[in-house]
Amino acid sequence: MSSATDVSTQMNIDSGLTADDPRLDIPRNLGGSQLQNLDGLLLPIVSGIAVSLLARFVLDWDGLMSTVVVAVIAAMAFVWVGTRERSGSLVATNSVVTALVWLSGTVAIGAIVWMLVFVIEKGSKRFGLSYFTHDMAKVGPLDPGGGVLHSIVGTLEQVGIAATFSIPISVLTAVYLHEIRGRISTVVRFIVNAMTGLPSIVSGLVVYALWVSGHGYSGAAAAAALTILMIPTVTRTAEEILRTIPDHYREGALALGAQRWRVVVKVVLPAARSGLITATILGVARAIGETAPVRLTALGTQAFNGNPFKDPQSNLTTFVWDQVRSGNAVQIERAWTGAMVLVVMVLVLFTAARFVSSRGSSSKGR
Amino acid sequence: MSIFELDNPMLDVPKPRVVERTTGAERVFTFLSSASAMVTLIIVGATLGFLIHDGWPAIRQTGLVNFLTSSSWVADAGIYGVGGLLIGTVLIAFIALSCAVPLSLGMALFINEYAPKRIRFVLVGAVDLLAALPSLIYGIWGLYALSGQASKIARWLSDHAGAIPLFRLTRPDAQLVSSGFIGGVVVAMMITPIITSVARDVMNQVPRELCEGALALGSTKWGMVRTVILPFGRGGIVGASLLGFGRALGETVAVAIIVSFSYKANSHVLERGAGSIASLIFTKFGEAKQGERGGLMAAGLALFVMTFAVSFVARKIVANSEKKAGIV
């Protein structure tokens, strides 16, 4: 039997222990909370940043992001070396992976914060009451005024029509899939699932071929394209929500002699109400942001058009797209404010959805 | 009703008398929901039908093989080749996937296993918000905010990883903005939420006893993740990635804003110029004449078939892995 120091050095090299290995009798320090204490992290992070800054000046790099990337890689290396020294390579790998997992969380959160801050910062420049009370009818590309009245009206009408059709269809389809479980439910479920990945532009193409090529651009055509896109997403979420309603609700109602439609209308749907509202709000939020299908079906205009059934109609997304593509500074500023309005609308809907679903879950727990 | 079918001879009980009345309301209800379910099938059928009807003449004119392999698009001569764009589409989606999969797996593990309980709610919300933001916003953010930084990373990659053929430049002073690389990175941000949420669902199905068993046997947290969670969720993770791939294939506006369009496939992904089918349709449709619109419909058909097949397979894999998880 070798001495304890021998064993620990061997363990560092060889991690392929078998179950009957005598070395397993010796307790191993896994140092579980290595990363919880800041001292273990602070040194590697500081030295990682130092190495990166040094490399940046010595090797003459450019750019914040590459510096950050190198700093992160160097810090990881230091974490690994540092922990290995104290507790062996198994723990060292664990520490590095923990750091990587935290890093990917930070990257995702960082990206979303960056995006929101950037859009709001750029967009607030032109934000004001007149932006919402004017359209672009008599506004030249470089004129200071102009607004999104026509686009907001277009967005509201198109998404409103789309929601009116798609929400009942989606909820009823979900009921068919989970409550009725008819003959075609397997097929429908697979088609719905595959349709959630339908490229938005394809729905625009279909509506164009079906309607626009013969009858001209209109807001209602855009609404049809949005309906095609909303049905699968809302159906899928709605079915998932129906699945969370416990079976004894249904059994209780059936045992009392209720018919199936009464069970659905009086028991299942009320119980699922908050979840269904959340699903539809998120579906609407998605429809508000669609650009490609709207462009192919409603085209977009400069002037106000309140009638969704005739003639091209604007939409916030086509507005932003047109202004961005024009390429001059004034129009791009206008586009940013349009983008900000879009983001704020999505954020409001999103927060509302969260609010409804959290209220629903708390009342269910009661 | 089926639950009352107690006609088993072993049950020596009088058969219960079931009063089943199918009232008008019941019939209307069943009809309405069946009709709604049919709508989805009709939409898919109509999509396929109209794309074939409007796109097939253009494909026949070009020849199917030419359509799928050539990358020359001459609208006036009636030649519509999307071969280069098919490769470009897959290339951008592939770049997106190779950034998004590690990020999403990290994010899924972070939310499920590593993050403190208190901030878990915030993280789930952030991922959902990433999914809810419009692709147009991603596009302009990518063009005006990310592009400058990403082109510096591209420069760095071409300087230090030039050994990899994809990262080579045709000439040292090539423009590194509006490239497939930057487009792919932005698309990666857009598909991260879908991969994360599906992967999280799969990882949540791992029986907790197995994880606790691994920890009790002295495994580190990473050891537990590597030997229990990842093998258990492998099918689901593959399916989730494919799902993200399908989304990336069809991404339109972000790619159209960021990437400078070209018909030819560009294997120098860091350089300016790349193409995808969705951005072809989006940018060309407005000014296209009747004949070219047929060509664009044909391109849409190719895109539809491709994404539909990928999503279908992906959902099948995810469903299978969830079914397997249910048995264990």
Average of pLDDT values for A32-50? Answer: 62
B156-160, long-range: CB < 8 A, 24+ apart: B156/A61, B156/A63, B156/A66, B157/B270, B158/B270
N- to C-terminal Cα distance for chain B? 32
**Residue-level length of chain A:** 366
* B40–A contact, CB cutoff 8 A: yes
> Distance of alpha carbon B23 from its chain centroid, rounded?
44
A184 contacts in chain B (CB < 8 Å): 34, 37-38, 41
Q: pLDDT band at residue A257, thresholds of 50, 70 and 90?
A: confident
* A63–B contact, CB cutoff 8 A: yes
The conformation of residue A82, written as its DSSP 8-state character, comes to: H
Regarding pTM above 0.95, the answer is no
φ, ψ for residue B82, nearest 5 deg: -115, 15
* Chosen from B17, B30, B39, B283 to mutate, greatest number of chain A CBs within 10 A: B39
pLDDT at B151: 84
The single residue listed with the structure tokens 């929601």 is A163
* A54–B contact, CB cutoff 8 A: no
User: Is B250 within 8 Å of A170 when comparing Cβ atoms?
Assistant: no
N- to C-terminal Cα distance for chain A? 62
Q: How many CA atoms lie within 13 A of A140 on its CB side?
A: 2
User: Is A104 within 8 Å of B107 when comparing Cβ atoms?
Assistant: yes
Closest CA–CA distance from residue B215 to any residue of chain A (Å): 11
User: For residue range A327-356, what is the model confidence (pLDDT) as tens digits?
Assistant: 788 889 889 999 999 999 999 999 999 888
Sign of the CA dihedral with B314 first, then B320, B323, and B325 last: negative
Query: Hey, which residues 232-251 in chain B have their CB within 8 Å of chain A?
Result: 243, 246-247, 249-251
B132 contacts in chain A (CB < 8 Å): 282, 285-286, 289, 346, 349-350
User: Is B43 within 8 Å of A339 when comparing Cβ atoms?
Assistant: no
User: For residue range A14-26, what is the model confidence (pLDDT) as tens digits?
Assistant: 445 565 665 555 5
- Cβ partners under 8 Å of residue B262, min gap 6: B84, B88, B273, B274, B275
| pLDDT over 50 (residue A132) | yes
DSSP secondary structure, B279-323, as one string: HHHHHHTTT--HHHHHHHHHHHHHHHHHHHHHHHHHHHHHHHHHH
CB B134 within 8 A of CB A290: yes
* Chosen from A206, A217, A354 to mutate, greatest number of chain B CBs within 10 A: A206
pLDDT at A138: 80
| pLDDT over 70 (residue A35) | no
CB A124 within 8 A of CB A340: yes
Of B37, B128, B152, the CB nearest to A184: B37
Query: Hey, which residues 199-218 in chain B have their CB within 8 Å of chain A?
Result: 218
Q: pLDDT band at residue A70, thresholds of 50, 70 and 90?
A: confident
SS3 B179: strand
| pLDDT over 90 (residue A78) | no
Closest CA–CA distance from residue A1 to any residue of chain B (Å): 23
Going from the C-alpha of B84 to that of each of A81, A112, A256, A357, B262, the distances in angstroms are 46, 33, 64, 46, 9
* A282–B contact, CB cutoff 8 A: yes
Higher pLDDT: A126 or B38? It is B38
Of B134, B149, B252, the CB nearest to A342: B134
Q: pLDDT band at residue A206, thresholds of 50, 70 and 90?
A: very high
User: For residue range B136-179, what is the model confidence (pLDDT) as tens digits?
Assistant: 999 999 999 988 888 888 887 888 777 787 788 877 778 888 88
Burial of B2 (0-12, 13-18, 19+ CB in 10 A): exposed
pLDDT at A312: 93
User: For residue range A270-280, what is the model confidence (pLDDT) as tens digits?
Assistant: 999 999 999 99
Closest CA–CA distance from residue A340 to any residue of chain B (Å): 9
Closest CA–CA distance from residue B51 to any residue of chain A (Å): 7
Average of pLDDT values for A287-301? Answer: 92
A108 contacts in chain B (CB < 8 Å): 103, 107, 126-127, 130, 192, 196
φ, ψ for residue A270, nearest 5 deg: -60, -40
Burial of A13 (0-12, 13-18, 19+ CB in 10 A): exposed
Mean pLDDT score across all residues of chain A = 83
pLDDT at A3: 44
Q: pLDDT band at residue A265, thresholds of 50, 70 and 90?
A: very high
* A172–B contact, CB cutoff 8 A: yes
User: Can you list the alpha helix ranges (DSSP code H) found in A124-218?
Assistant: 129-133, 149-175, 185-195, 200-207, 213-215
Query: Hey, which residues 128-187 in chain B have their CB within 8 Å of chain A?
Result: 128-130, 132-138, 140-141, 143-145, 149-150, 152-153, 155-156
Spatial distance between the Cα atoms of B255 and B92, rounded to a whole number of angstroms: 9
User: Is A350 within 8 Å of B132 when comparing Cβ atoms?
Assistant: yes
Closest CA–CA distance from residue B112 to any residue of chain A (Å): 11
pLDDT at B324: 72
pLDDT at B16: 59
User: Is B30 within 8 Å of A261 when comparing Cβ atoms?
Assistant: yes
> Which mean pLDDT values do the consecutive 10-residue runs of chain B (328 residues) have?
53 59 84 93 92 91 89 86 92 94 94 89 89 93 89 81 79 83 94 92 88 90 91 90 93 92 85 89 88 92 92 86 67
Of these ranges, A38-42, A72-76, A350-354, the one predicted with the greatest mean pLDDT is: A350-354
* A31–B contact, CB cutoff 8 A: no
| pLDDT over 80 (residue A4) | no
Query: Hey, which residues 53-112 in chain B have their CB within 8 Å of chain A?
Result: 53-54, 102-103, 105-107, 109-111
Encoding tokens for residue B47?
């999509």
Closest CA–CA distance from residue B222 to any residue of chain A (Å): 5
Instruction: Give the dihedral of Cα atoms A140, A144, A145, A148; nearest 10 deg.
Output: 80
pLDDT at B305: 92
User: For residue range A162-204, what is the model confidence (pLDDT) as tens digits?
Assistant: 999 999 999 999 999 999 888 899 999 988 988 888 899 999 9
pLDDT at A8: 43
DSSP secondary structure, A309-366, as one string: TSS----HHHHHHHHHHH--HHHHHHHHHHHHHHHHHHHHHHHHHHHHHHHHHHHH--
| pLDDT over 80 (residue A7) | no
Looking at chain A, the whole-number percentage of residues with pLDDT higher than 90 is 45
* A206–B contact, CB cutoff 8 A: yes
| pLDDT over 70 (residue A38) | no
User: For residue range B34-68, what is the model confidence (pLDDT) as tens digits?
Assistant: 999 999 999 999 999 999 999 999 999 888 898 99
pLDDT at B269: 84
pLDDT at B17: 63
Encoding tokens for residue A345?
């609308």
Least confident of A8-17, A69-78, A308-317, B160-169: A8-17
Of B137, B282, B315, the CB nearest to A342: B137
Nearest of A206, A240, A109, A220 to residue A164 by alpha carbon: A220
Question: Which residue of A lies nearest to B142 if distances are taken between CA atoms?
Answer: A115
